[in-house]
Amino acid sequence: MTVLLILGPTAVGKTRVAAYVAERVGAEVISADARTIFRDLVVGADRPPPEILARVPHHLVGVLPPEARYDAARFRADCERLLPEILGRGRRAVIVGGSTLYIRALTRGLFPGPAADPQLRAELSRWPTEALRAELLRVDPQSAHRIHPRDRVRLIRALEVFRLTGKPLSAQWGSERPFPWPLVKVGLTCARAELYRRIEARVERMFQEGLVEEARRLWEKNLPADAPILRTIGYRELFGFFRGEYDLARAKKLIVRHTKDYARRQLAFFRAEKDVHWLDVTGRTPEEVGEEVLALWRARDPSLQ
């Protein structure tokens, strides 16, 4: 039985398309979003709105405290735990999100590498990005050339693997364990001007819905310096505002700029994925896009009603 995987850049409209498709076929949704999984991140993580959560069962949404650590390996394990439960209820499954490493954990598999080491990650997280890449070029040049020079998460993971095992991450290539269920991969994209307009509108909406207040509550928790949410776009810029580094208008501009940069990196990453059917959603409603996604899924899986 196939599983639908909807991927794409932030703000392209994945959430509503996935909910429409899930309602039409009686499916449950698994979120592949590295921030939506945290409990206190609602506005800034652009969590699916209550009306969607009430209509469609969602998994891995708001289930972890903000100080928790979660990674692609745990996401993959959670998917392998959840899918038999969903399919056992006679329902279908839709996985939707834009967290690149989570998607890669499904589409290309994971090698049986070491678990994350919080102390080591905390040490590496204090390094400048240029220093991380320079060190990786020294110990694992193949991985260094494969990873984007500004992708701190993957640079740190590659160095972590080397430090913990004494072997380069590149030596593990080819040992990945494939995902047990066949995936029907659909990517959503739109004209760049439209995507940027959506990002600007979403940031404006987040401020109206209380992003500053939500970030302030997280700021006051005095979370550990290596807590993943401290790197989340939207919160990290506001934390700079709280520290007095710039004014609120500057914080908003930084959020917009960093979100656009992130969307570009997502698209570059996803374009390298194989067997993705890309749909241009420019000027189209979620329902229109959802119908096309359904047609693609049914063409790949005749058992889908």
Domains of the chain: which residue ranges? 3-110+176-300, 113-175
Rounded to whole angstroms, the Cα distance separating 171 from 174 reads 8
> Do residues 6 and 17 make contact, with C-beta atoms less than 8 angstroms apart?
yes
Neighbours of 262 (CB within 10 A): 17
277-302 tens-digit pLDDT: 999 999 999 999 999 999 999 999 99
Is the pLDDT reported for residue 107 higher than 70? Answer: yes
Q: Give the dihedral of Cα atoms 235, 247, 244, 213; nearest 10 deg.
A: -40
38-95 tens-digit pLDDT: 999 999 999 999 999 999 999 999 999 988 888 888 999 999 999 999 999 999 999 9
Fold of 113-175: Histone, subunit A (1.10.20)
Strand segments, DSSP code E, in 130-242 are 183-189
Higher pLDDT: 265 or 305? It is: 265
201-219 tens-digit pLDDT: 999 999 999 999 999 999 9
| Structural class in CATH, domain 3-110+176-300 | alpha beta
236-264 tens-digit pLDDT: 999 999 999 999 999 999 999 999 999 99
Q: For the chain, how big is the Rg over CA atoms in Å?
A: 19
Rounded to whole angstroms, the Cα distance separating 145 from 163 reads 19
pLDDT band at 265 (very low <50, low <70, confident <90, very high): very high
Is the pLDDT reported for residue 112 higher than 70? Answer: no
Percentage of the chain lying above the pLDDT 90 cut: 78
Higher pLDDT: 122 or 16? It is: 16
Q: What is the pLDDT of residue 111?
A: 67
Rounded to whole angstroms, the Cα distance separating 34 from 47 reads 11
115-139 tens-digit pLDDT: 778 889 889 988 999 999 999 999 9
**Burial track 139-153 (b if 16+ CB lie within 10 A, e otherwise):** bbeebbeebeeebbb
How far, rounded to the nearest angstrom, does the alpha carbon of residue 37 sit from its chain's CA centroid?
10
133: left (phi over 0), alpha (psi -120 to 50) or beta: alpha
Rounded to whole angstroms, the Cα distance separating 38 from 229 reads 8
Rounded to whole angstroms, the Cα distance separating 16 from 293 reads 12
Rounded to whole angstroms, the Cα distance separating 24 from 44 reads 29
Is the pLDDT reported for residue 176 higher than 90? Answer: no
Q: Do the domains spanning 3-110+176-300 and 113-175 agree at the CATH topology level?
A: no
